[in-house]
Structure 1
Amino acid sequence: MRYLLVLMFCCFLPSAWADMTLSIVDQDNLPVADAVVTVSKNVVGTPSSVAVMDQVDESFVPRVIVVQKGQYVSFPNSDDIRHHVYSFSEPKTFEIKLYKGTDVAPILFDNPGLVVLGCNIHDDMIGYIIVADNALTLKTDKNGQVRLPVKQGDKVSLWTERSIDGVNALESIDITSDTEQTVTLELLPPIEVIDHSSHKGFGKKKW
């Protein structure tokens, strides 16, 4: 019986390790962080958790978040100044007028698509919410990498705010390897953003 269990484990091991690593770099061979990759063939449910788009040092943190259709997003303001968050994007039009702190009800994002965020007080504050249509959708990390349950011959779609075709453009990528693949894209220059790597919880304050 013990040997049978070992054999079954070995048989299932490859599928458990089936994820491949996709790396996205720009024309200067620099990693592209916060690129959003969608695997349409993988259907996922809507998480019950509330996603968080914080505001720290007059920036949306994180700059890009991914949620599923039907998920709620909270918009705490961890700055010591007021913000006025809004979106005119078709999937979700809303505004949260001048406020500080966390006493703002989460907002439901029930239509798939790209939601661009701004602040009515600080014009340089830009954030993005990708509302996925119940498909597996992941972001690249600071090294421009993401692990995906795909194989050679599959296709995925990619979004990045740096696309030369505009912020609404999607790039189709053919998967050519079962283990790892690097894709080079012609993109706009990297966005200058504040380093919030030490940011935890709801910003500078201790709630």
Structure 2
Amino acid sequence: MKKWIIFLASLILPFWISIIGYSQTSNHNKGYGKITGTVKVFGKNFIGDLKEKDDMSGVVVYLTGFETKPSKDVSNLVQQNKAFNPTLLPIVAGQTVSFPNRDGIYHNVFSVSPVKSFDLGQYKSTDPPKDITFDKAGLVPVFCNIHPQMISFVLVLENNAFGKTDKEGKFVIPNVPPGRYTINAWKPKTQRMSSDIEVLPGQETVINFELKEVEKIPPHKRKDGSNYPGYQDDWES
């Protein structure tokens, strides 16, 4: 668990970078601004060299520095084929997440995060899904107590000014109140990148990031602190 504390601390501390291709253009919505851009993701190939990935989806780009009310919509973190989908789910603090099990076997979703600790118990696809409300901003790793390979992250944000990249790495954050903010980009296995940004009314601001998949996601324990059968947490040594 101590390795998970180190891992999460490295994500809380932002890594500041210079802005790549920062520009502003007119936007039809005069009261608010819009942020667009591209995130390039680099992963290691079979010999360990970094190469631009074909699929750059799944990066969450978000603003910090102000709060908004959560959506009343319930987000889904699905259990299927012994995996969570998506592996990174952005929501706003106060929002509810449902955890449907679409496998014909039991799963036991849990988290021991100080941001939100919970244990949903065992249930399968014939059982109703279980819900959790995340009331505090932060990063919540989510596991299955039965299947150690099942890992996802709920990224609980201060506000709804966030976007998620498509396969080409493009993102859009619409209807942003004018002001100066910190903009962040992150996905699992990368170090969070952050920069200052100014949003002007009626303007489109373009900012681009580059992320490198060089971080390891540490192994974890079961909910009672024990090892999974046949699964050695060598990060504890």
Match in the other structure for 2:37: 22
Distance between the aligned counterparts of 2:185 and 2:93, measured in 1?
A: 18
1:83 aligns with 2:107: yes
Give 1 or 2: higher strand fraction: 2
Report the 3-state secondary structure (helix = DSSP H, G, I; strand = E; otherwise coil) of the residue aligned with 1:49. coil
Aligned length: 176
Match in the other structure for 2:214: 188
Report the 3-state secondary structure (helix = DSSP H, G, I; strand = E; otherwise coil) of the residue aligned with 1:121. coil
Contact 1:20 1:178 in 2 (8 A): yes
Q: Which runs of 5+ in 1 are unaligned?
A: 1-10, 165-169, 192-207
Alpha-carbon distance, 1:112 to partner? 0.9
Q: Which amino acid aligns with 1:33?
A: S
Distance between the aligned counterparts of 2:215 and 2:27, measured in 1?
A: 43
TM-score (norm 1): 0.71
1:142 aligns with 2:170: no
Question: How do residues 30-49 of structure 1 correspond to structure 2 at under 5 angstroms?
Answer: 30=53, 31-41=55-65, 43-49=67-73
Match in the other structure for 1:13: 28
Match in the other structure for 1:171: 193
Match in the other structure for 1:65: 89
Match in the other structure for 2:131: 106
Aligned in 2, Cα 1:70/1:125: closer, same or farther, shift over 3 Å?
same
Aligned in 2, Cα 1:17/1:186: closer, same or farther, shift over 3 Å?
same
Following TM superposition, the consecutive aligned residue runs of length 4 or more in structure 1 with deviations greater than 4 angstroms are: 174-179
Distance between the aligned counterparts of 2:27 and 2:129, measured in 1?
A: 46
- Report % sequence identity: 30
TM-score (norm 2): 0.63
Distance between the aligned counterparts of 1:69 and 1:59, measured in 2?
A: 24
1:52 aligns with 2:73: no
1:122 aligns with 2:147: yes
Decide which moves more: 83-92 or 34-43. 34-43
Match in the other structure for 2:186: 159
Contact 2:58 2:187 in 1 (8 A): yes
Distance between the aligned counterparts of 2:28 and 2:103, measured in 1?
A: 47
Q: Which runs of 5+ in 2 are unaligned?
A: 1-25, 43-50, 218-237
Alpha-carbon distance, 1:179 to partner? 5.3
Contact 2:88 2:152 in 1 (8 A): yes
Report the 3-state secondary structure (helix = DSSP H, G, I; strand = E; otherwise coil) of the residue aligned with 2:161. strand
Distance between the aligned counterparts of 2:132 and 2:215, measured in 1?
A: 32
Distance between the aligned counterparts of 1:80 and 1:133, measured in 2?
A: 36
Alpha-carbon distance, 1:154 to partner? 5.6
Aligned in 2, Cα 1:94/1:181: closer, same or farther, shift over 3 Å?
same
Distance between the aligned counterparts of 1:174 and 1:32, measured in 2?
A: 23
Deviations 1:86-109 (A, max 9, x none): 111111111122211352441111
Distance between the aligned counterparts of 1:35 and 1:100, measured in 2?
A: 29
